[in-house]
Structure 1
Amino acid sequence: MLSFNDARELENTTECLWTLCFDKSARQVIKDFPGLVAALDSLKNSDNEKIRKNAKGALWLINEEKEASKVTDNVREDVGQHIFISYSWAEKTKVKEIYKSLKSHGFKVWVDWENMGGSTLQAMAEAVENASVVLICVSENYKLSNNCRLEAEYTFTKKRNYLPLVMQKQYKADGWLGIMLGSKLYYDFSGKYPYEQSEQQLLKALRELEITRPTLEPMPASKESQSTVSCYKMTNAEVVEWLEKKSLQRLSSLLYNIDGKMLWDMKLFSETAPEYFFKEIKDQYELSLVEVIQFNSALKTLH
């Protein structure tokens, strides 16, 4: 079946076999077909990159239990210390922006362009098992990629936390991807909303998952990030103190019952509906224009 020499046919055939291997019953048929696994084993060393990649992907699924046990043996003590980003290369530009944002906030992030060494699939599997959360960058290109599917299903199999990020406008996941994601809350990075709004929602979700930000290999802080204040775990008293430090004494006496979580929600509200938010603040607390501007500036320093 795989003895012909036409490269295009071999590319298509090995890709089809890889896709079929995601189905357990089809995988068993391929295992039982005389000579087929041996043919894939020889093609994993092909000079053709596509053929080589497809053969390795199919063999990974065929030998799933054996490969998984190898990975488990190599899981490091720093498990749970990084964020793994699973994406299609068609979305690489957007993913780089998200990657830089997460790094600037102190998170350790695993991406393939920085970390692939040795066996690509082995590196991916170890990175998923060592991840605290996997960001699945959802798009049609992602759904059609066997490599992306392998990462996503391995994430699901290993019961890792995962968050779906929509990368394509008006895209609704279906097929295997739709089944896996189910009713999960999506974070929209398709361009439908301002990037900063989507970024803040993602950061909030990571905090709620209690994803830690290790002190190892921190990114140099920009002047802007150095002036920010972490607020999510602030108590009522700490919020009052923060407002007073921002020269918002009148607001500090009015917002005495606000804690860090509520303050963070106010920040998000100010970014998603600024006109409505600041009109309500101004009217409800009878603030001057200067006080509204000061409060807006103060909210921007929160992270």
Structure 2
Amino acid sequence: MFSVKAKKLSPQVKDCCSEIEKATKLLKQLTSPAALESNDAGASDLFTSVAQLASVFSTKQVAENPDVTMAVNDSNLLAMSVDLLIAAVESADEVPSSSAKIFNGIVGNVCQCLLGIFLNATNWSLDFCRQLSQQEKYFKEFYPRLLSSQDAKQLDSRTGRGNAVYYTIGAAFNAYFKNDSEVFSRLSEFDLVSSTKPYLQCGDTTVSTAALILIAFAVDEKQSDVFLGAKDNIAFLIENLRKALGSPDRSWRGYDVIEVAKCIRRLALNDSNKDLLIELDLLPTVKKLLDSSNDEDVAEGIEILFTLSFSKKFRQKIWKEFREVIGLLEVSPKWSSSKQLQGLVFQLQDASERPGSAASTASASAGRKKSKKSSRRVMISYNHGSKAAVERLYNLLTEAQVDIWVDFKDMKSGSVYQAMANGIEGSSVVLMCITRLYNESNNCRLEVEYAHECGKKLIPLLLEPKYRTNGWLGFLTLAELRYDLTETKCSFESKVQELLVALQSHFNQLDSGVTCRSGSAVGTEITERGMSGLELQFLARTLARSPEYFGRVLERHFGLSKLLDLAAFVTAIEELQDCE
């Protein structure tokens, strides 16, 4: 089971593999009560073996020995380490209750040593994070098994098992914190939230804070109720940021300013948390970030405030309390060109105050809307992490004579958001190039919500394999047909051809004067009506049992009669029902 695979291994990897094999054999020998009572030497040898591994992968060794870095990123060695961890927790289950306390202490120390390596390696190595994210057995077997084997409320991080749990959660958080799409995609396949959630109630704040931070990265909007009982944890994190800002070494309880600020911003991405964070008095601490002499603090402060500004409930409050400091940043040579700052200002200002907005340029917009050329224009909205794919898309669309607005061709000097507003207002279609980073981008959200506000047709293009939208983007694209450009099933070019057909159909409708409501508009109406799950189920059952009667219901109660409107509504009903 633990034999080294036939491949060329460095001496460092061979030595580590030998230690793991030795540790595994010793672990197996200690599972009987007699061995536990009499074989103190065996336990000592086991500790020596895993301690040897820990010393090999110490921070000092990694810094001074390139072979150690190669060893820790070796997939075979990692797989053997995972197998040893699984064997440790499985063996603990097999030991008689009379000997459980002794053996659990042994297992706790074995796990603590190995997981300490994982914690350090995920902190300094993106390659290791990628390797770990591919260890399905680790996240599907070991992670939930270890966490479920402990009493979350009573756990003490100073014990072997307590430290093992903390290291396990911390290593997963470190992997998420790298913000790498490959790691995110892999980790999203595992339900880490369910296993970690009980530790939000842990009396040890070291563990509960780690659990909150991990969940902030792993959770999606459908699981947002997990934060409802975590107010104390979130308040503690805000307090952590405030105290870290006032500390000489810019850290508190093991977390530095930037690390905590990024975690709070991550929490704020979830719309259900925006109001909660403001209610928990986050804004004064954000003000301290913006007043800081440290540029990183200011950048994080702007990003957090930009994220919070999507809260309609508190938008005016934010603008009132931060207008002065934002004004100072706008005239600062260092920050005046910040796209995040410009986006924040655009978001907070009233429509009549926005440069380039529909309200402030009504006559110009009206002239553009009457123009046949502008009515056929298509804007491409994307995150810059997808620029290569977007350039490929742009070339194919322009070859097909589609009039395209995209920032790398049409962005002029001046206000980024004035140019964005003009681009949207002068287009009839906005192509959304969807990836995880797009979904998490304040700039992209601002573009799409403004396009929706202007009544533009939104067409989602999927550029990241297996990625599923959630939250604000999931809602706005609820009933829209998506085009998968990831080349997992069809070629990029063939899907662009399908997109061209859809664009031509839309342009023909514009030319004929026939319009239909977009799927996102229909989804908005369903939500604004406050339809309950019972009502959604009734409509879904009616559709299945009597389509004719269903059609009469829509015409009578919703005023829908056009085929495309009916199709959009039906799709929205089906998808909303799935979300219930």
Question: Same fold judged by TM-score > 0.5?
Answer: yes
Partners of 1:41 and 1:105 lie apart in 2 by 45
For structure 1, the residue ranges without an aligned partner over 5 or more in a row are 213-303
Of the candidates 294, 311, 325, which is equivalent to residue 23 of structure 1?
311
Q: Is 1:148 matched up with 2:444? A: yes
Cross-structure match for 2:320: 32
Amino acid corresponding to residue 70 of structure 1 in structure 2: S
Opposite residue 450 of structure 2, the aligned amino acid is: Y
Q: How big is the shift at 1:12? A: 0.4
Match of 1:100 among 395, 413, 427: 395
Which whole-Å CA distance do the structure 1 matches of 2:474 and 2:401 have between them?
31
- The DSSP-based 3-state class of the residue aligned with 2:428 is strand
| 1:111 lines up with 2:406 in the alignment | yes
**Deviation of the 1:42 alpha carbon:** 1.7
> Given that residues 143 and 177 in structure 1 are in contact (C-alpha distance below 8 angstroms), is that contact kept between their aligned partners in structure 2?
yes
Q: How does 1:163-178 map to 2 (within 5 A)?
A: 163-178=459-474
Q: How does 1:198-209 map to 2 (within 5 A)?
A: 198-209=495-506
Tell me the alpha carbon deviations over residues 156-210 of structure 1, each in whole angstroms, 9 at most, x when there is no partner. 1111011100010001100111111112110011121211220111011112112
* 1:72 and 2:362 aligned: yes
1:99 and 1:51 map into 2 onto residues whose CA distance is 26
Please state whether the residue corresponding to 1:209 is helix, strand or coil.
helix
Between the aligned residues of both structures, percent identity stands at 30
Give the corresponding residue for 2:84.
Answer: none
Aligned counterpart in structure 1 of residue 347 of structure 2, from 58, 61, 64: 61
Q: Deviation at 1:149? A: 0.7
SS of residue paired to 1:23: coil
**Given that residues 46 and 52 in structure 1 are in contact (C-alpha distance below 8 angstroms), is that contact kept between their aligned partners in structure 2?**
no
Q: What is the root-mean-square deviation of aligned Cα atoms in Å? A: 2.0
Structure 2: gaps spanning 5 or more residues: 1-286, 510-580
Higher relative contact order (CA 8 A, sep 6+): 1
Task: Give the counterpart letter for 2:487 in structure 1.
Answer: G
Post-superposition shift, 1:31? 2.4
Instruction: Say whether the 8 Å CA contact 2:376–2:507 is kept in structure 1.
Output: no
1:41 aligns with 2:295: no
Name segments (4+ residues, structure 1) moved above 6 Å: none
The alignment covers a number of residue pairs equal to: 211
Equivalent-residue separation in structure 2 for 1:187 and 1:92 (angstroms)? 17
Within 5 Å, give how 1:128-143 maps onto structure 2. 128-143=424-439
Deviation at 1:144, TM superposition (A): 1.2
Alignment partner, residue 383 of structure 2: 88
Amino acid of the residue matched to residue 189 of structure 1? L
Which has the larger helix fraction? 2
3-state SS of 1:92 partner: helix
Letter in 1 for 2:328: S
> Of the two, which has the highest radius of gyration?
2
d(CA) in 1 for partners of 2:508 and 2:391?
20
Q: Normalising by structure 2, report the TM-score.
A: 0.35
Structure 2 residue identity aligned to 1:124: M
Q: Does structure 2 retain, via aligned residues, the 8 Å contact 1:132–1:211? A: no
State the Cα deviation string for residues 217-254 of structure 1 (Å, max 9, x = none). xxxxxxxxxxxxxxxxxxxxxxxxxxxxxxxxxxxxxx
* Secondary structure of 1:109 counterpart: strand
Structure 1 pair 48/168, CA: closer, same or farther in 2 (3 Å)? farther
Q: Which residue of the partner structure matches residue 568 of structure 2?
A: none
| Stretch deviating more after TM superposition (51-60 or 202-211) | 51-60
